[in-house]
């Protein structure tokens, strides 16, 4: 069994992504499982040339060494297509030709109101493929955030497993990969909390065991926006690895003694792992970060 860190190659790691990397590493190692790295490179329009290699070099600079081979989602496209064909044969998906503008004009909740569910449109052409919603309870207990429940509109939404542009949707790709890589726990930021009910639906239809969930608090700037590549968060400086690593550990409630803060990353991580306390990770969805 294993945990994983799964960045998209849309730019170098920033402090927010370092938090996810460090948190997932500590939780995997504390569970005595592997820590794998998967590059989620299935959205070419958003990808930056050379970012995949840069991310791996950054992880090494911070002492975050992965187990096994790095995997790339772009190598799994045939498998995603097989799963979609399987869902088609089971009558669990349908074609949708709605535009974002149309959905926005009709939906009061922001969720897709299942407009095309009974239209029986062809799967050929520029259409999204949507998974029919289930009848189950897709609330869950998170190992950090506690009980997580959402608006019923989310549970009743038929969400995309393939986009209109033909690219596989994040929800499908991540679940298929996690199942096939034996990921038994998922550690990521709270920005993906509301993705979990959709992914629980996929685990249900694929008849796979559900992993444990750990959603880490997000680092936000004074404007209230999360640190992200879209919000132009600066890349972490690998030349200051010890400093940023200590900041990430402090953010996660795992402070490093002052006498160790100038040691190499390996020394800092060894201390953090030997003193790791999951309950000390703040059960908050957002925390202000000032560099």
As for how many domains the chain has, the answer is: 1
How far is 19 from 281, CA to CA, in rounded Å?
11
**Per-residue pLDDT of the chain in tens (291 residues, 90 and over written 9):** 999 999 999 999 989 999 999 999 999 999 999 999 999 999 999 999 999 999 999 999 999 999 999 999 999 999 999 999 999 999 999 999 999 899 889 888 889 999 999 999 999 999 999 999 998 889 999 999 999 999 888 999 999 999 999 999 999 999 999 999 999 999 999 999 999 999 999 999 999 999 999 999 999 887 766 766 565 568 898 999 999 999 999 999 999 999 999 999 999 999 999 999 999 999 999 988 866
Handedness of CA 209, 189, 169, 105 (dihedral sign): positive
Contact predicate 251/19, CB 8 Å: yes
Unique residue bearing structure tokens 């998974």: 131
112 within a domain of the structure (yes/no): no
139 within a domain of the structure (yes/no): no
70 within a domain of the structure (yes/no): yes
Residue positions forming the annotated binding site for ATP: 229
Unique residue bearing structure tokens 């998967």: 38
Q: Which domain holds residue 240?
A: 2-74+219-288
Residue positions forming the annotated binding site for Zn(2+): 96, 98, 112, 116
- Residue 228 has a CB neighbour count (10 Å cut-off) of 19
Domain at 277, CATH number: 3.40.50.620
127 within a domain of the structure (yes/no): no
Q: Which residues contact 11 (CB under 8 A, 6 or more apart)?
A: 48, 51, 229, 235
Residue positions forming the annotated binding site: 4-8, 40, 96, 98, 112, 116, 170, 188, 229
How much is the pTM?
Answer: 0.95
133 φ/ψ angles, rounded to the nearest 5 degrees: -70, 155
233 within a domain of the structure (yes/no): yes
How far is 70 from 63, CA to CA, in rounded Å?
16
Burial 103-140 (b: 16+ CB within 10 A, else e): eeeeeeeebbbbbbeeeeeeeeeebbbbbbbbeeebeb
212 within a domain of the structure (yes/no): no
pLDDT at 227: 65
Residue positions forming the annotated binding site for L-glutamate: 4-8, 40, 170, 188
165 within a domain of the structure (yes/no): no
186 within a domain of the structure (yes/no): no
């Amino acid at each position: 069994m294993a945990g994983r860190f799964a960045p998209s190659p849309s730019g170098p790691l920033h402090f927010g992504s370092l938090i996810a990397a460090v948190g997932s590493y500590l939780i995997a190692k504390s569970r005595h499982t592997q820590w794998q790295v998967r590059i989620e490179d299935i959205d070419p329009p958003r990808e930056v040339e050379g970012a995949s290699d840069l991310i791996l070099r950054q992880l090494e600079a911070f002492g975050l060494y992965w187990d096994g081979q790095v995997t790339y989602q772009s190598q799994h496209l045939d498998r995603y297509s097989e799963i979609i064909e399987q869902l088609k044969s089971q009558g669990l998906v349908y074609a949708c030709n709605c535009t974002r503008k149309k959905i926005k004009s009709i939906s009061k909740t922001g969720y897709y109101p299942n407009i095309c569910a009974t239209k029986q449109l062809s799967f050929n052409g520029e259409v999204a493929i949507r998974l029919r919603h289930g009848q189950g309870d897709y609330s869950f207990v998170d190992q950090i955030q506690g009980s997580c429940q959402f608006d019923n509109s989310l549970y009743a939404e038929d969400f995309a497993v393939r986009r209109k542009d033909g690219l596989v949707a994040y929800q499908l790709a991540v679940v298929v990969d996690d199942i096939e890589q034996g990921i038994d726990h998922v550690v990521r930021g709270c920005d993906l909390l509301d993705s979990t009910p959709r992914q629980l639906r996929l685990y249900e239809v694929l008849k796979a065991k559900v992993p444990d969930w750990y959603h880490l608090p997000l680092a936000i700037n004074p404007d209230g926006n999360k640190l992200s590549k879209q919000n132009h968060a600066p890349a972490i400086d690998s030349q200051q690895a010890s400093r940023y690593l200590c900041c990430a550990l402090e953010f996660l409630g795992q402070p490093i003694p002052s006498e160790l803060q100038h040691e190499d990353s390996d020394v800092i991580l060894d201390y953090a792992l030997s003193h790791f306390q999951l309950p000390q990770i703040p059960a908050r969805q957002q925390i202000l970060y000032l560099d």
